[in-house]
Homo-oligomer: A and B are copies of this chain.
Amino acid sequence: MSANATGTRVRTKKTTDPFTRLESEVRSYCRSFPVRWRAARNATLISDDGTEYIDFLAGCSSLNYGHNDPDMKAALIAYLNEDGIAHGLDMHTEAKAAFLQAFGDIVLKPRNMDYRLQFTGPTGANAVEAALKLARRVTGRTNVIAFTNGFHGVSTAALAVTANRYHRAASGAALNYVTRMPYDGYFGEDTDTAEQIRHILSDPSGGVDPPAAFILETVQGEGGLKTASAAWMRSIQALAKESGALMIVDDIQAGCGRTGTFFSFEKMGVEPDMILLAKSLSGMGLPLSMVLIKPEHDRWRPGEHNGSFRGNNHAFVTARVALQKFWSDSGAGLDLERKSQNLQSALENIGSRHGLTLRGRGMFQGIDLKTSEIAAAVSQKCFEQRLIIELSGAHDEILKVLAPLTTPGEQMERGLKIIAESVDEIFGKALYTASSNTD
Contacts and interface: CB of A to CB of B under 8 A. Distances in A.
Given A23-B118, A122-B287, A199-B187, A39 B164 contact: no
A208 B162 CA distance: 10
Given A48-B94, A68-B80, A170 B301 contact: yes
B123 A308 contact: yes
A155 B157 contact: yes
Contact of A308 (B27, B98, B177, B279): B279
A314 B302 contact: no
Interface string A52-73: 0000010110110001100001
B324 A3 contact: yes
Interface string A266-289: 000000000000110000111100
A4 B142 contact: no
A212 interface: yes
A13 interface: no
A343 interface: no
B206 A173 contact: no
Contacts of A206: 148-149, 163, 165, 180, 394
Given A125-B121, A174-B143, A205-B394, A84 B26 contact: no
Contacts of A9: 97
Interface string A115-134: 01111011111100100111
Nearest to A84: B39
Contact of A38 (B19, B21, B94, B209): B94
7 contacts: A2-B102, A146-B207, A148-B207, A150-B207, A162-B207, A191-B191, A203-B394
A73 to B, nearest CB: 5
Interface string A16-56: 00110111111111110111111111000110100000000
Interface stretch (A85-93, A227-235, A405-413, A414-422): A85-93
A415 B93 CA distance: 22
Interface string A137-161: 1000011001111110111111010
A103 interface: yes
Contact of A204 (B84, B209, B395): B395
B306 A154 contact: yes
B314 A22 contact: no
B174 A200 contact: no
A81 B293 CA distance: 37
A327 B390 CA distance: 39
B137 A170 contact: yes
Interface string A216-252: 0000001110000000000000000000000000001
Interface residues of A, number: 165
A189 interface: no
Contacts of A143: 174
Nearest to A100: B18
A40 B85 contact: yes
A67 B85 contact: yes
A428 interface: no
Contacts of A158: 155
Contacts of A97: 1-2, 5, 9, 18-19, 36
B164 A101 contact: no
Contact of A68 (B77, B83, B187): B83
A155 B9 CA distance: 39
Contact of A170 (B62, B73, B304): B304
Residue of A126, A143, A224, A395 with highest tally of chain B CB at under 10 A: A126
Given A89-B29, A121-B155, A24 B293 contact: yes
A97 B205 CA distance: 34
Contact of A87 (B62, B82, B203): B62
A180 B87 CA distance: 32
A48 B302 CA distance: 24
Given A37-B92, A122-B122, A205-B224, A80 B77 contact: yes
A22 B117 contact: yes
A400 interface: no
A250 to B, nearest CB: 13
A380 interface: no
